[in-house]
């Protein structure tokens, strides 16, 4: 699978359900506000719903609404019903992850948009196919990465492992975003972890996103995500080395 290099970013995480979709959508909302023609992609999705030939990924739909994109088949070309790693889901559901289809979809999106936000599935070493991981997809797409992490207890280990795996593979890490920070009653870990992770990894902390009222992925409600993203995330660091800082 070979694709051309174009401006964009790959949103990965320290785990599943850490908020990659929220971060990807928040970035899309802000870039769209800046007048940038931004495309979104969720190459592989599991835990999808609906009829077999019309499976829907709530995450992909949320991204598509945030960016106001067309071309739904390109945004999420590989979908599975089982809430499992894609490789495992593909075995159980007896259908392959079509890597060439993913490649073609990404190349087609590049024709229509100036900046592509790609959301991965789980973390860097989630298997998409046999001997093919999320990290392989990042390498094929030639994209820098933003890491999304939790802020609570356990986040130091999970985040440092993710940073280490990214560095070993030579990825350009734009920074770390902490998601779902409590609005009240912070734990000591939540207060101290971001600085500790920055000090130990040397990777920039781009900011944090609190719990947002009226934000719901399944029903495509964004609440104040755009405003919070603008206020609390260092967006220009994500766009470093691009021509899109405006």
Q: What is the pLDDT of residue 228?
A: 97
Whether 188 is covered by a domain: the verdict is: yes
Q: Which of 172, 140, 155 is nearest to 240 (CA)?
A: 172
Kindly state whether residue 224 falls inside one of the protein's structural domains: yes
- The residue with tokens 């992925």 is 217
Least confident of 69-73, 80-84, 123-127: 69-73
Number of neighbouring beta carbons within 10 Å of residue 94 = 6
CA distance linking residue 246 with residue 243, whole number of Å: 9
> Residue 163 falls within a domain, yes or no?
yes
- Residues 154, 121: contact at Cβ < 8 Å? no
Range of the domain at 53: 8-238
Render pLDDT for 177-202 as a digit per residue (tens, 0 to 9).
999 998 888 899 999 999 999 999 99
Confidence of residue 2 (pLDDT cuts 50, 70, 90): very low
What count of residues does the chain have? 246
pTM for this model (two decimals): 0.95
Give yes or no for residue 207 having a pLDDT over 60.
yes
Phi-psi region of 80 (alpha: psi -120 to 50; beta: other; left: phi over 0): beta
Whether residue 118 lies inside any domain: the answer is yes
Q: Give the pLDDT score at 1.
A: 46
The pLDDT of residue 54 is 86
In a domain, 244, yes or no: no
Kindly give the pairing relationship between strand 205-210 and strand 215-216.
Answer: unpaired
Count of domains for the chain = 1
What positions carry a catalytic annotation?
42
Question: Can you give the CATH number for the domain in which 160 is found?
Answer: 3.40.50.300
Query: Using one digit for the tens of pLDDT, what is the confidence trace for 5-61?
Result: 569 999 999 999 999 999 999 999 999 999 999 999 999 999 999 987 789 999 999
Cα gap 121→44, rounded to integer Å? 7
Backbone conformation region of residue 42, classed left if phi is above 0, alpha if psi is from -120 to 50, else beta? beta
């Amino acid at each position: 699978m070979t694709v051309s290099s174009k401006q964009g970013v790959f949103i990965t995480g320290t785990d599943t359900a850490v908020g990659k979709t929220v971060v990807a959508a928040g970035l899309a909302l802000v870039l769209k506000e800046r007048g940038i023609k931004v495309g979104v992609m969720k190459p592989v999705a599991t835990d999808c719903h609906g009829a077999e030939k019309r499976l829907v990924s709530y995450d992909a739909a949320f991204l598509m609404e945030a960016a106001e994109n067309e071309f739904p088949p390109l945004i999420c070309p590989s979908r599975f019903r089982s809430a499992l790693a894609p490789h495992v889901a593909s075995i159980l559901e007896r259908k392959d992850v079509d890597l060439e289809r993913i490649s073609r979809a990404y190349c087609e999106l590049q024709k229509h948009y100036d900046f592509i936000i790609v959301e991965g599935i789980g973390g860097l070493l989630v298997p998409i196919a046999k001997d093919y991981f999320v990290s392989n997809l990042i390498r094929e797409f030639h994209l820098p990465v933003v890491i999304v992490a939790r802020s609570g207890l356990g986040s130091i280990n999970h985040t440092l492992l993710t940073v280490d795996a990214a560095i070993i593979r030579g990825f350009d890490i734009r920074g770390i975003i902490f998601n779902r920070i409590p609005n009240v009653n912070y734990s000591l870990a939540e207060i101290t972890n971001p600085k500790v992770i920055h000090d130990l990894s040397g990777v920039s902390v781009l900011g944090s996103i609190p719990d947002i009222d009226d934000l719901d992925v399944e029903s495509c409600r964004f609440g104040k995500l755009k405003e919070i993203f603008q206020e609390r995330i260092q967006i220009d660091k994500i766009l470093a080395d691009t021509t899109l800082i405006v």
